[in-house]
């Protein structure tokens, strides 16, 4: 049994990228993981992904582009205000405006730059660059 399926999924993606695989299968699939993968797809970190339905949880087949340097979850899930994003950018990203930090807000999961634009805070979930 997995304690943190999101951390396991991002680690599996990062390991597959490092060895040069073109696709990776992630199990179990969840709505949170699908939203995070769609944001990573929008920012060109991964290619498309497809959900393959199985009886228990299903799984996702993710096509890789080879453009991820590092990704991972942020534990513990720190609560943050909009004014504190710069502190977290310095901690988790190598340079300003390079990479994304994913945040869970009352409006849903979004990047830190989108949260800055609508002036909202939330809980830190993951980072990718």
Q: What is the pLDDT of residues 32-71, one digit of tens each?
A: 999 999 999 999 999 999 998 877 778 999 999 999 999 9
In the chain, where the domains are located: 5-64, 74-128
Instruction: Name the fold adopted by 5-64.
Output: Ribosomal Protein S8; Chain: A, domain 1 (3.30.1370)
pLDDT for position 1: 56
In CATH, which of 3.30.70.1150, 2.40.50.1020, 3.30.2310.20, 3.30.1490.10 is domain 74-128?
3.30.1490.10
pLDDT for position 58: 86
Of 58, 6, 70, 65, which is closest to residue 29 (Cα–Cα)? 58
The model's pTM: 0.91
* Percent composition of the chain: helix, strand, coil (DSSP 3-state, to 5): 35, 30, 35
Of 101, 88, 108, which is closest to residue 127 (Cα–Cα)? 101
pLDDT for position 90: 94
């Amino acid at each position: 049994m997995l304690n943190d399926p999101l951390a396991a999924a991002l680690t599996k993606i990062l390991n597959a990228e490092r060895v040069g695989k073109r696709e990776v299968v992630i199990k179990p699939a969840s709505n949170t993981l699908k939203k995070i993968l769609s944001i990573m797809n929008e920012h060109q970190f991964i290619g498309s992904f497809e959900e393959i339905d199985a009886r228990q949880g299903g799984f996702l087949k993710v096509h890789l582009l080879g453009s991820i340097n590092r990704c991972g979850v942020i534990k513990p899930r720190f609560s943050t205000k909009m004014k504190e994003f710069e502190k977290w950018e310095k901690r988790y990203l190598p340079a300003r405006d390079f990479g994304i930090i994913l945040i869970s807000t009352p409006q849903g999961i979004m990047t830190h730059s989108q949260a800055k634009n609508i002036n909202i805070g939330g809980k830190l979930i993951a980072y990718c660059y």
